[in-house]
Amino acid sequence: MYIRYIALILIFAYILPLPAQERDSLKTETLSEVVVMGSYANSVKRNSALQVDIVDKNFLQQHFTGNLMQTLEYMPGIHSMDIGSGFSKPMIRGMGFNRISVTENGIKQEGQQWGADHGLEIDAFAVERVTVRKGPSSLLYGSDAMGGVIEISQVPAPSGNQVYGEIAMLGKSVNGTLGASVMAGVRKNSWHTKLRFSEQHFADYRIPADTIVYLTQYLPVHNRKLKNTAGFERDIGLFSEYRKGRYYAHYAVSNAFQKAGFFPGAHGIPEASRLQDDGSSRNIDLPYSSVNHLKITAHQQYAGNKSAVYLDAGFQNNHREEWSLFHTHYGNQPVPVTNPNRELVFSLNTFNSSLRADLIYSPRWKHTFGLDVQYQRNSIGGYSFLLPEYRRFATGALWLGIFRPTGKFSISGGFRYDYGMLDISAFQDVYLEKYLREQNYDSGTVESYRWRSYSVNRHFGDVSGSIGISWIPDKFHQLKVNLGRSFRLPGANELASNGVHHGTFRHEQGNASLVSERGWQLDASYTYEHGNVLFTASPFVSRFDNYIFLKPTGEWSILPHAGQIYRYTGSKAIFTGTEVELRIDFLRNLTYQITGEYVYTHNLDEYTPLSFSPPASLRNSLIWKHGIFQFRAELQSIATQNRVARNEDITHGVNLLHCGATVKILFGNLNADITFSLKNVFNTKYYNHLSFYRKVEIPEPGRNFQFLVKIPFKSRLQ
């Protein structure tokens, strides 16, 4: 159904650059990939007053899991909110969901990121370079970036005309993962194009427990495998770029499909009868979810002597379905004629465009002006209800200036104004209305419950800004300080949702009177690098005037199997903490690295911590390198998280041992990179405080042996 979109963008990709093909006034000079990466990283870190971490292919390969966010967890301050063993969503410094932006090729990824059980639809095999910006980023990226940004970008094209590619294979023991990815690319003069196809299949994952406990009820885990947590992922992506003189453009088309089962004990009301062994660990039974994410992006840029112009545009369709055996709590709701077990459907269409202009009139001053526009439309379906239909429009204008009086000191600052409109459709549940009348509820109660979503039309206007310094007194030290004011527009779920969220076991209600989240954020960073020693400390503190969260009301819902009502509420809140990293190279081949992180959250109105606050953690790593061989051992220490919100469980701390090795082997003219890893060596039973399954007392996967094989190839073209 998406072939027409792909065909259009391919035509667009090859026609649009034609007017620029005659320009070739600049001499093109290609550097090696390592040199370009180092230059890119140094430039970004020098020019940003925020803490910026950049990882390349080597880091991604050493920590690769087939899941991007679980790979990035090895960076301090980054956490993975897991949905089973297959999919995850990002968290930076205790902030997640709509407070974190993920961009790929310059376009923000747009899905149903508001949900705890909704993962990130990006092919992990295709990720080549990741830039993580920690702290307030609303100035450049607008709403939903108040907690930080994860940028996924391409590495520079290979030097010279050539055909090249890569074959990758992945295997895991904990859930029987079998995955593979094939990439083929060609560089010919001004054109560079690459195509990748990836697929992963995984079975029910193993846990180091025979039973789990939910609400004092013991539920069996047969064969220590979590029933119906199998799934698969299938991704395809095309990237093409053109460079001629001062003109550059790139185009990308990708489609990611994911399907995974829900553990029956975590969807609806847990019952032992639903957990009986079905004889297969690879089948996907009800309940399950499937999501298809189509993304088409285009980037154009032209660089003059003292200016540059950038234009980005993108279209995305995120289609998510949740399937569960038809059930009704009212008794009078008929079985749907078609697709009777399709419980929920969300189809989100997003159009993005961004215009940037850089003006450099002197070596000391650089000005950036920008304009962003986004339009979204979300439609719904299925026999159940959770999120209403809505239309969303947002636009913002920004200015950012950088002043460098010397090569060692720079001041950056700017401001941005955003306008947003959210038009939410009303939804009336006629079956619920009839059920409540039959139960003899009064007319006022019936009226308040039958409207599962009220019509809401809200307009928002917000200002964000920042000012920061970057000081490099000598080649060994760097100091950064940044003060920013950020914001976030409330989402449709926060304004108008009204129903039972099966995955979280509660009745969630929106609040149509909510205003934007607003806050002040102070970030600092100190880096010392001399010889074989690297040390970095990054403290931060943030205060929000209207932090939006789900608050238990103490009211019990009259909806069947709903429990307590949780209502979205604004509150004053504080986030503070730090990340620390120390790396020492010694004895020629050995490296010792320690990274630590701590986040403290506090609800100033309720005098309680905020939910989903990550526990403090520490990683001690010892790395030995010799020729083509590298060995890594790591002790991961996770502290007890006893600072929890109301109705949130305490999660006890744990020490985990991991190890791994990488070796390069020559097969004729091919070099193979083989990575082995063993996670949770002692099969320790522990809980992840941020896991989707934490509420039903499901421990994390047990011991996992993994292998990754990558075989690159290339051939010169005349």
* pLDDT score of 24: 32
Q: Are 52 and 76 in contact (CB under 8 A)?
A: no
The residues, any chain, with a CB within 8 Å of residue 673's CB and separated by 6 or more, are 61, 662, 663, 664, 709, 710, 711, 712
Asked whether the predicted pLDDT for residue 11 surpasses 50, the reply is no
Q: Which residue has the higher pLDDT, 333 or 44?
A: 333
Angle between helices 443-450 and 430-438 (to 10 degrees): 160
Q: DSSP character for 224?
A: G
Grade residue 266 by pLDDT with cuts at 50, 70 and 90: low
CA–CA distance, 38 with 627 (Å, rounded to integer)? 22
Task: Fill in the amino acid letter for 662.
Answer: T
* pLDDT score of 267: 67
CA–CA distance, 713 with 697 (Å, rounded to integer)? 46
Grade residue 15 by pLDDT with cuts at 50, 70 and 90: very low
Q: Residues 416-460: pLDDT tens digits?
A: 999 999 999 999 888 888 888 888 899 888 888 888 888 999 999
Query: How many H-runs (helices) and E-runs (strands) does the chain carry?
Result: 8, 36
Chain-centroid distance of CA 621 in Å reads: 25
Grade residue 270 by pLDDT with cuts at 50, 70 and 90: low
Q: Are 52 and 45 in contact (CB under 8 A)?
A: yes
Return contacts of 218-222, CB within 8 angstroms, 24+ apart.
219/265, 219/270, 219/272, 219/275, 220/272, 220/275, 221/275, 222/275, 222/276, 222/277
Q: What is the token pair recorded at 200? A: 């992963």
* pLDDT score of 41: 64
Q: What is the pTM of this model?
A: 0.90
CA–CA distance, 611 with 588 (Å, rounded to integer)? 45
**Which domains does the chain possess?**
3-716 (2.40.170.20)
Mean pLDDT of the chain: 87
* pLDDT score of 21: 32
For residue 454, the SS3 value is coil
| Strand partners of residue 183 | 166, 196
Q: What is the token pair recorded at 499? A: 């129903």
| Strand partners of residue 523 | 482, 540
* pLDDT score of 17: 36
3-state secondary structure 40-95: HHHHHHHHCCCEEEEECHHHHHHCCCCCHHHHHCCCCCEEEEEECCCEEEEEECCE
For residue 36, the SS3 value is helix
Nearest to 413 by CA among 30, 43, 48: 48
* pLDDT score of 39: 55
Sign of CA dihedral 126, 710, 202, 657: negative
For residue 69, the SS3 value is helix
Asked whether the predicted pLDDT for residue 414 surpasses 90, the reply is yes
State the burial class of residue 369 (Cβ atoms within 10 Å of its Cβ: 0-12, 13-18, 19+): middle
Grade residue 269 by pLDDT with cuts at 50, 70 and 90: low
Could you tell me the maximum CA-CA distance found in the chain, to the nearest angstrom?
83
Q: What is the token pair recorded at 620? A: 């001690």
Asked whether the predicted pLDDT for residue 13 surpasses 50, the reply is no
Q: Which residue has the higher pLDDT, 13 or 415?
A: 415
* pLDDT score of 502: 67
Asked whether the predicted pLDDT for residue 468 surpasses 60, the reply is yes
Task: Fill in the amino acid letter for 206.
Answer: R
Over residues 471-477, mean pLDDT: 93
Tell me the H-state helices in 633-702. none
Nearest to 574 by CA among 618, 612, 607, 537: 607
* pLDDT score of 706: 96
CA–CA distance, 696 with 270 (Å, rounded to integer)? 9
| Strand partners of residue 76 | none
| Strand partners of residue 509 | 498, 567
CA–CA distance, 46 with 193 (Å, rounded to integer)? 31
Over residues 525-535, mean pLDDT: 94
Q: Residues 608-625: pLDDT tens digits?
A: 999 889 999 999 999 999
CA–CA distance, 378 with 205 (Å, rounded to integer)? 33
* pLDDT score of 268: 62
Q: What is the token pair recorded at 402? A: 């950088």
Q: Residues 183-225: pLDDT tens digits?
A: 999 999 999 999 999 999 999 999 999 988 776 778 888 889 9
Over residues 319-336, mean pLDDT: 86
Grade residue 345 by pLDDT with cuts at 50, 70 and 90: very high
Q: DSSP character for 516?
A: -
How much of the chain exceeds pLDDT 70, in percent? 91
Asked whether the predicted pLDDT for residue 12 surpasses 50, the reply is no
Q: Residues 293-310: pLDDT tens digits?
A: 999 999 999 999 899 999
Q: Residues 633-682: pLDDT tens digits?
A: 999 999 999 999 887 889 999 999 999 999 998 877 778 999 999 999 99
Grade residue 51 by pLDDT with cuts at 50, 70 and 90: confident
State the burial class of residue 650 (Cβ atoms within 10 Å of its Cβ: 0-12, 13-18, 19+): exposed
